Amino acid sequence: MTSTLRVLGIDPGLTRCGVGIVDVDRARRATLVHVGVVRTPADADIAERLAAVASGIRAAIAEHRPQAVAVERVFAQHNVQTVMGTAQASGVALLVAAEAGLPAATHTPSEVKAAVTGYGSADKRQVQAMIARILRLDAPPQPADAADALAIALCHAWRRDAASPTASGGMTAAQRAWADAERVARTYVRSGR
């Protein structure tokens, strides 16, 4: 496995599909490679809109050569029409990744928020602020779909590190923190303090 992983994160949507690419090293330091939004007009035919989303994702893959693709997993919403469009854009993203021979994964919104902010119910402003801090940006990426795409990419890269036995003993960041705290407590007890 290389020391740096380049991940394309996709926040699927028909009107705005967020596309963000980051490089993440073994120390979990992240660098912005690309961020953007593929936009389609709401009054266009659904087939044309999906083709435009696919084209935008293909262009990002061709230009930046990511090693993995991460897509936000679609969850049930009250607006069925919105869910359908998001699910269709998600399917297109996964298809384009497969066509390019790239491994692809999906992550739930709460997994992504927890990975980036430490809180699974964080709001969009909190996610944007943390993305700006993590990537050392002067301002949060706009619109929120762009920041969400970067958050998805970071979540995937960090979960890859957490799942790697060589990187972390197969533990998540929270499990590592807990194990470290237990080690400190055992050392404290053994020293008789």
Band (74; pLDDT cuts 50, 70, 90): confident
Q: How far apart are CA 123 and CA 6, in angstroms?
A: 26
Span 8-17, pLDDT tens digits = 999 999 999 9
The model's pTM is 0.81
| Secondary element (H or E) of residue 11 | strand 4-11
Contact 75, 55 (CB under 8 A): no
Question: What number is the average pLDDT over the span 161-185?
Answer: 50
- How many angstroms separate the Cα of 113 from the Cα of each of 11, 17, 23, 139, 142? 13, 18, 19, 19, 17
138 part of the active site: no
Contact 139, 104 (CB under 8 A): no
Examine the pLDDT at 168 and tell me if it is beyond 50.
Answer: no
Longest dimension (CA), the chain: 73
pLDDT for residue 166: 38
Span 61-72, pLDDT tens digits = 999 999 999 999
Examine the pLDDT at 171 and tell me if it is beyond 50.
Answer: no
Question: What number is the average pLDDT over the span 45-73?
Answer: 97
pLDDT for residue 3: 85
| Secondary element (H or E) of residue 72 | strand 68-72
Q: Is 63 annotated as a binding residue?
A: no
Q: How far apart are CA 109 and CA 83, in angstroms?
A: 14
| Catalytic option among 11, 23, 148, 161 | 11
Class of domain 4-167: alpha beta
Domain ranges of the chain: 4-167
23 part of the active site: no
Q: How far apart are CA 189 and CA 193, in angstroms?
A: 6
Q: Which long-range contacts (C-beta less than 8 Å, at least 24 apart) are formed by 181-190? A: none
- The SS3 of residue 13 is coil
11 part of the active site: yes
pLDDT for residue 173: 54
Q: Is 43 annotated as a binding residue?
A: no
